[in-house]
Structure 1
Amino acid sequence: MTDHARHLDAHYDAPGVDSPGVQNGLGLLTRLRAAFRDAGFDPDHLTLDEIAGIDQLHLGGRRASRSLAAQGELAPGSRVLDVGCGTGGASRLLAAEFGAEVTGVDITAAFIEVAGWLSHATGLDDRTRFLCADAAQTPLASATFDAVWCQHALMNMPDIAAVLAEWRRLLVPGGTLLLHEVVVGSDTSPLCLPVPWARRPETSHLRSRQSLEALLAEGGFAPVAVQDVTETALAWRRKHSQREGDGAPSGPALPGPALIFGEVFATMGRNLRDNLAADRVRIIEGVWRSG
């Protein structure tokens, strides 16, 4: 395992990494299955609504994924590579609602194990598959995918040029890139940390919109439609921060992101809200075409 992968494991499976005697991957899967049982649900038979709290770890949740998919005009049967797939929420949404055939890739082994379980539990394992790999170097065949999908993952990738080169290799000629990404805002002062993608400055690889768009152009991707969706993202984050601050509900609750990030997740959410409000970060979504 590379240092980069270890840092991401330590961030995205913090309770499993920090708890003595708990193995990476197995720890997260075990915790989540137990949480569903404790809430009165069968962990092997779940719905997409029941797993919503743990299956899309990005701003805007399923609504943001639907917005991006609509922009990309994904046709039924489209072969999609979901990069930085996490626990596989976007992969399952694209399969269930848009008829896509999706391969999810993530460098965090615990996420891949959970993604496979959740797809099986929701009956979507025939249209989704998951692979633990570095986005800059996958074992997948060239010209395999019609579209590359990436939501809130580039800011965890230090070598974006290598990642973009790999995406071009994997896409068919004229293939589509769909991005929903965090970028640096106009206020360049240090971020309030921790945030959902980083606990320390050295693990955050944010770029400005201008820098990201320049790298995409250099990598052979031409913009089709790009928009700033910061205000929508901020409204969503404010609503969820308020909900998280209301305290735990009475009785068993469905699993949420605190089981993945640890109890610090509520602080991460508030910091992200404040970073958005101060314009330290912004959110863009868009479609690019591979040349």
Structure 2
Amino acid sequence: MTDHARHLDTHYDAPAERDGQSLAARLQEAFREAGCDPDRLTLDEIAGIDQLHLGGRRASRSLATLGSFASGSRVLDVGCGTGGASRLLAAEFGAEVTGLDITAAFVEVASWLSRATGLDDRTHFLCADASHAPLADGTFDVVWCQHALMNMPDIAAVLAEWHRLLVPGGTVLLHEVVAGDDPSPLRLPVPWARRVETSHLRSRHALEVLLAEGGFAPVAVQDVTEVALAWRRKHSRREGGDVAPTGPALPGPGLIFGEAFAEMGRNLRDNLSADRVRILEGVWRRA
């Protein structure tokens, strides 16, 4: 395991460092305590842990609609986390999805959740570095990536892999955190980093230049910061206890990130408000 992978493992599976219990075992136990069978779950029951990015399922649906890819498209979900977007694309858009993540605990959970929701025939997951994907050339019609590039130090290498893996004319669908106009240091921790060493934010301009140099032409690109900020404010109120729960206490992201999750959410809200970070949504086509 590389130092990069170790740092991300420590960040994204922090409670395991403390108690030694695997992420999958911890989540399965939490589902049992909530009165759910961890071997038979619905997409609504797992919504709190399956899409670890701003906007949740709504943001994934927005990006998929913007990309307008055909049913049956072969999709590579880069930085798939626990596999929520992969399952949504399979269930609602008819995609055949391969999820890739460098964090082994996420890949284990993603595979389990797809089996539990009956989507394991259309979603498959592997643990690998996105800059060295063990996959054949021209395997995919779409590369999908939500809130993952900011954890990747060598984006040029990652984009070269995307270019290799896509068919000619294939598309990249990206929903990403980029640096804002306020140059002051990020308020940490945030959901993707507890330390500056694991945050690799770039400005929108820098990212778009890298995409162009990597052989990708923009099709539709928009700043969705205000929508993301409204979503984050709503969830910060809920996490702070200002909004009463409306249903059973199903597992949430605190079981993944640990006690620091509420602080991460508040810091992300404040970083968005101060324009230290922005959120970009877009589609690019492989030239």
TM-score of the superposition, structure 2-length normalised? 0.98
Per the TM alignment, residue 198 of structure 1 is displaced from its structure 2 partner at its CA by 0.2
What is the CA distance between 1:249 and its match in structure 2? 5.4
In 2: Cα distance, 1:227 partner to 1:51 partner: 29
Q: What's the offset of the Cα at 1:3?
A: 0.2
The alignment of Structure 1 onto Structure 2 pairs a total of residues equal to 286
Match of 1:174 among 165, 169, 172: 169
Amino acid at match of 1:221: F
Aligned to 2:67: 72
- The answer for the alignment partner of 2:249 in structure 1 is 253
Q: Which position in structure 2 is the counterpart of 1:12?
A: 12
Superposition RMSD in Å: 1.2
1:199 is aligned to: 194
Q: Name the SS of the counterpart of 2:48 in structure 1.
A: helix
* Residue number in structure 2 paired with 1:3: 3
Q: Is the contact made by 1:12 and 1:261 (CA closer than 8 Å) also made in structure 2?
A: yes
2-structure distance, mates of 1:219, 1:250: 46
* CA distance in 1 between partners of 2:281 and 2:43 (Å): 24
What is the letter of the counterpart of residue 17 of structure 2? V
* 1:22-66 Cα distance to aligned partner (Å, 9 max, x none): 16xxx1000000000001000000000000000000000000000
2:60 is the counterpart of 1:62: no
Q: CA deviation at 1:251?
A: 9.4
1:107-256 alignment, distance < 5 Å: 107-246=102-241, 253-256=249-252
Q: In the alignment, is residue 90 of structure 1 matched against residue 77 of structure 2?
A: no
Letter aligned with residue 198 of structure 2:
T
Aligned to 1:33: 28
Matched position secondary structure for 2:115? helix
Match of 1:275 among 258, 271, 275: 271
Deviation per residue, 1:71-126 (Å, 9 max, x gap): 11121100000000000000000000000000000000000000000000000000
Amino acid at match of 2:5: A
Query: Secondary structure of the equivalent of 2:153?
Result: coil
Q: Hey, what's the Cα distance between the residues in 1 that align with 2:203 and 2:72?
A: 34
Cα deviation for residue 252 of structure 1 reads 5.8
Aligned residue among 88, 95, 98 for 1:100 = 95
Task: Using the TM superposition, give the Cα deviation of residue 18 of structure 1 relative to its aligned residue in structure 2, in angstroms.
Answer: 2.8
Q: Which residue does 2:46 correspond to in 1? A: 51
Q: Is the 8 A contact 1:91 1:104 kept in 2?
A: yes
The code of the aligned residue for 2:174 comes to L
SS at match of 1:237: helix
Counterparts in 2 of 1:276 and 1:31: CA distance versus 1, 3 Å: same
Q: Helix, strand or coil for the counterpart of 1:8? A: helix
Unaligned runs of at least 5 residues, structure 1:
none
Structure 1 distance, partners of 2:18, 2:261, is 15
Q: Which residue identity does 1:127 align to in structure 2?
A: R
Q: Secondary structure at the match of 2:138?
A: coil
Cα shift readout 1:124-173 (whole Å, capped 9, x = no counterpart): 00000000000000111110000000000000000000000000000001
Structure 2: give runs of 5+ residues left out of the alignment. Answer: none
| Percentage of pairs with the same residue | 82
Does structure 2 conserve the Cα–Cα contact (< 8 Å) formed by 1:112 and 1:130?
yes
Deviation at 1:250, TM superposition (A): 10
Distance in 2 (CA, whole Å) between partners of 1:6 and 1:101 is 30
Moved over 3 A (4+): 247-252
Amino acid at match of 1:5: A
- Deviation per CA, 1:162-206: give whole Å up to 9, x if none: 000000000001100000000000101000000000000111000
